[in-house]
Amino acid sequence: MPEAHPGRVPSQRILRTLAAAFFATAFLMSGAHAASSKKEVAAKKQTASAKTTATKSASKSEAKATRTAKTPDVEKTVRGGRNVTATLSKRGGKSVVTVQRRSVVRVAEPARQSFGQLAGLHSTDDVLDLKSSVALVVDQDTREVLFSKNDQAVLPIASITKLMTGVLISEAHLPSEEMITITQDDVDTEKHSSSRLRVGVSLPRGELLHLALMSSENRAAHALGRTYPGGIDTFVAMMNAKARSLGMRDTRYVEPTGLSSGNQSSARDLALLVSYAYNDQTLRQLTTSPEHVVEVGSRTLQFNTTNRLVKNPDWDIGLQKTGYISEAGQCLVMQARIAGRKLIMVFLDSAGKLSRIGDAERVRRWVEATQVMSPAAIHSPVASAQTAS
């Protein structure tokens, strides 16, 4: 038998070893390739899933947009006041309420100056510190002037005008029970003032005269002039003629209510008118009436005096009339008994709603305190300061 050589490896064993190594390498490589393939497949599946999800989301969005487009928004707006607006909307099947509040900035308009203020009459000082730029106090019996301030200034007289309207209507002796209907012609287009006498309302002439003198009812006064024989133009002409006959040289009328600033006069002229009108019992009664109730269709209306002093027991007023428009300021004429004397008082262009009343009270206290003084002592240089317009 052949003899074995030490240190040699038989060729067959080498071949078996190489074959085993080859197969092991091949197995490992195939496993790695399989794992890599699985990862690729998983990644592809994940990508495909993401694309599917995105497609579904896009489809849902498109479907929602389509539904929204098919169902248009419905809005309804409701105003909850001048500055609040509520909007009801239907969006995508849901009701949405939106409330908006509008900010409003109100800018106060500057007060319109009266003719007296524009003329600088309020710069005139007097011992009583009156708020009226024009004032006159006269003893009715003796014609003695107790107090004067710019009494020759010619200014708008507002509803003092109605006193002359009353004089003409009373002296015309027209039927007091004759029914007069308020028409559109009687509506104020000058100052756009309000009235409780609606167009179409009919009242007796006597009732209209009462309301015009006591409550300064503009439509009542205009209706009286409009229904005067010859119409409104004739009536105004008669007003001016009457003024001239009374010696009212500074006076001019353009209509019977006083709403126009074209109705102008002076304190001296108005003192003449008050003295003359006081002789008419009807005018005394109606101008000093505190209140009056009239039946207007199915309505019962109560009218009140525009002069609160009429209801004051401390005052003994024989005749009075108030007036106001911005061009004239607050105005007041009165005949009153003070400290045993019958006095005529005229206040024009008073600044402030109650200032004319305050001026009358100041004069009354002053007369009561100085009733024993002589006219020379009362008529101080400051009190008689004059500024003609």
Residue-level pLDDT at 353:
86
pLDDT at residue 228, rounded to an integer: 98
| Residue 148 annotated among the catalytic residues of the structure | no
Domains recognised in the chain with CATH numbers: 115-378 (3.40.710.10)
Residue 349's nearest CA partner among 123, 166, 191 is 123
Identify whether the C-beta of residue 180 lies closer than 8 Å to the C-beta of residue 222: no
Q: Are strands 145-149 and 299-304 parallel, antiparallel or unpaired?
A: unpaired
b/e code 208-227 from CB counts within 10 Å (16+ = b):
bbbbbbbbbbbbbbbbbbbb
Mind spelling out the 3-state secondary structure of the chain?
A: CCCCCCCCCCHHHHHHHHHHHHHHHHHHHHHHHHHHHHHHHHHHHHHHHHHHHHHHHHHHHHHHHHHHHHCCCEEEEEECCCCEEEEEEEECCEEEEEEEECCCCCCCCCCCCCHHHHCCHHHCCCCCCCCEEEEEEEECCCCCEEEEECCCCCEECHHHHHHHHHHHHHHHCCCCCCEEECCHHHCCCCCCCCCCCCCCCEEEHHHHHHHHHHCCCHHHHHHHHHCCCCHHHHHHHHHHHHHHHCCCCCCECCCCCCCCCCCEECHHHHHHHHHHHCCCHHHHHHHCCCEEEEEECCEEEEEECCCHHHHCCCCCEEEEEEEEECCCEEEEEEEEEECCEEEEEEEEEECCCCHHHHHHHHHHHHHHHCCCCCHHHHCCCCCCCCCCC
Q: Which is catalytic among the residues 162, 170, 260, 265?
A: 162
Q: Which of 216, 260, 265, 350 is catalytic?
A: 216
As a whole number of angstroms, the distance between CA 211 and CA 34 comes to 115
Catalytic, 374? Answer: no
- The gap between the terminal CA atoms of the chain, to the nearest Å, is 169
Confidence (pLDDT) at 112: 86
Q: Annotated catalytic, 216?
A: yes
Q: Single out the catalytic residue among 114, 132, 148, 159.
A: 159
Can you give the pLDDT at residue 86? 65
Task: Tell me how far the alpha carbon of residue 159 is from its chain's centroid.
Answer: 22
Q: Give the containing element (helix H, strand E) for 363.
A: helix 355-369
- Assign residue 253 a region (left: φ > 0; alpha: ψ between -120 and 50; beta: otherwise): beta
Q: pLDDT tens track of the chain, all 389 residues?
A: 444 444 444 455 555 655 554 544 444 445 544 455 555 545 555 655 555 555 555 555 555 544 544 444 555 665 655 566 666 676 666 666 666 666 655 655 567 899 999 999 999 999 999 999 999 999 999 999 999 999 999 999 999 999 999 999 999 999 999 999 999 999 999 999 999 999 999 999 999 999 999 999 999 999 999 999 999 999 999 999 999 999 999 999 999 999 999 999 999 999 999 999 999 999 999 999 999 999 988 899 999 999 999 999 999 999 999 999 999 999 999 999 999 999 999 999 999 889 999 999 999 999 999 875 545 444 443 356 544 33
